A = this chain, B = another copy of it.
Amino acid sequence: MKIPISIVKKSGDIVVFDVEKLTNSLRRASAGENVIQQIVGEVQSTIYEGMTTSKIYKIAFDLLKKYSRVSASKYKLKTALFELGPSGFPFEKLVGKLMAHEGFSTQVGVIVQGNCVSHEIDVIADKDDQHCFIECKFHSDQGRFCNVKIPLYVNSRFLDVEKQWKKQKSNEGKISKGGVYTNTRFTSDATQYGKCAGLLMASWDYPFGNGLKERIDKSGLHPLTALTTLTKNEKTKLLDLGLVLCKEIYENPEVLNQIGISKPRHKNIIKDAKELCSLH
């Protein structure tokens, strides 16, 4: 049996390094078993007491990129979501596209009159008789969780727009819901309040087994920031053009010309984008 090694999390918490967790995260990225064994072996040979999880992640990511660029893209999904910033707008679009994929008709960034004041609603999503008002909370910083104040204000905002919305005769008999989507995590009282208040709640890992990570993987709606074949600057240009998904690149490959990427690089970028979206 090996001596347990303590490592340091982003939060500052010290935990024992768990090789199973590393293996699972690589497996989630669809890395082959051989590659996983290779990476786990290399990480174990370099790990030391007090190493940070982000350093371990970086080593694993760099190795994975060498063996399989597309697995590396899947592996960096969480980081890729952060890279949608600094503004929250690309994340709102991503949430809109996820809900559209799930059968809703969606609008992003709409000013809606409430009973007391008007509000900007990040995503309005309709399906059959359901009408959802979703607030997106984007954080650029891993350490920032969504605390209870977020679902609290979202609920008041929802109740204010719902009150006005119900006054319209055409909305009679329809069901309305409020919701919060975030790229980070909720504190436990935030989920507790949100559930109790009847809000639709989604975060990186909530609801368990159907968080954003699983929903993105299942739908193939990977953000373009996951691609390892684009530079940060190129990603920013694509986001500025209004694109947010890998899918949108291979569906409109001319955007690569538009942002000045030389022809010889197109093939690899499109190949990775396609592979990533089809890898479930």
The interface of chain A, by Cβ under 8 A from chain B, is 115-119, 148-153, 155-157, 160, 189, 192-193, 196-197
| Cross-interface CB contact of A117 among B118, B119, B157, B196, cutoff 8 Å | B196
A-B contact pairs, 14 of them (CB 8 A): A115-B196, A116-B193, A117-B148, A117-B189, A117-B192, A149-B149, A151-B156, A152-B152, A152-B157, A152-B160, A153-B156, A155-B156, A156-B197, A160-B197
| Cross-interface CB contact of A149 among B116, B148, B153, B196, cutoff 8 Å | B153
Q: How many copies altogether? A: 2
CB contacts (< 8 Å) of A153 on chain B: these are 149-150, 152-153, 156
A177 to chain B, nearest CB (A): 16
Is the CB–CB distance between A116 and B156 below 8 Å? no
CB contacts (< 8 Å) of A196 on chain B: these are 115-117
The 9 closest A-B pairs by CB, nearest first: A116-B196, A153-B153, A152-B153, A152-B156, A117-B189, A156-B156, A116-B193, A149-B153, A117-B193
A192 to chain B, nearest CB (A): 5
CB contacts (< 8 Å) of A156 on chain B: these are 151-153, 155-156, 197
Q: Bound complex: CA of A192 vs CA of B119, how far in Å?
A: 12
CB contacts (< 8 Å) of A160 on chain B: these are 152, 193, 197
Q: Bound complex: CA of A151 vs CA of B159, how far in Å?
A: 13
Q: Bound complex: CA of A152 vs CA of B150, how far in Å?
A: 10
Nearest B-chain residue to A191, judged by Cβ: B117
Is the CB–CB distance between A197 and B116 below 8 Å? yes
CB contacts (< 8 Å) of A117 on chain B: these are 148, 189, 192-193, 196
CB contacts (< 8 Å) of A119 on chain B: these are 148
Q: Bound complex: CA of A23 vs CA of B264, how far in Å?
A: 71
Q: Bound complex: CA of A157 vs CA of B115, how far in Å?
A: 19
A162 to chain B, nearest CB (A): 13
Q: Bound complex: CA of A192 vs CA of B160, how far in Å?
A: 12
Q: Bound complex: CA of A197 vs CA of B118, how far in Å?
A: 14
Q: Bound complex: CA of A148 vs CA of B117, how far in Å?
A: 9
Q: Bound complex: CA of A193 vs CA of B119, how far in Å?
A: 11
CB contacts (< 8 Å) of A149 on chain B: these are 149, 153
Q: Bound complex: CA of A119 vs CA of B196, how far in Å?
A: 14
CB contacts (< 8 Å) of A150 on chain B: these are 153
Other 6 A-B pairs with CB < 8 A, given A149-B153, A153-B153: A117-B148, A117-B193, A118-B189, A152-B160, A153-B156, A160-B197
Nearest B-chain residue to A147, judged by Cβ: B153
Is the CB–CB distance between A116 and B157 below 8 Å? no
Q: Bound complex: CA of A196 vs CA of B118, how far in Å?
A: 12
Q: Bound complex: CA of A196 vs CA of B164, how far in Å?
A: 13
Nearest B-chain residue to A157, judged by Cβ: B152
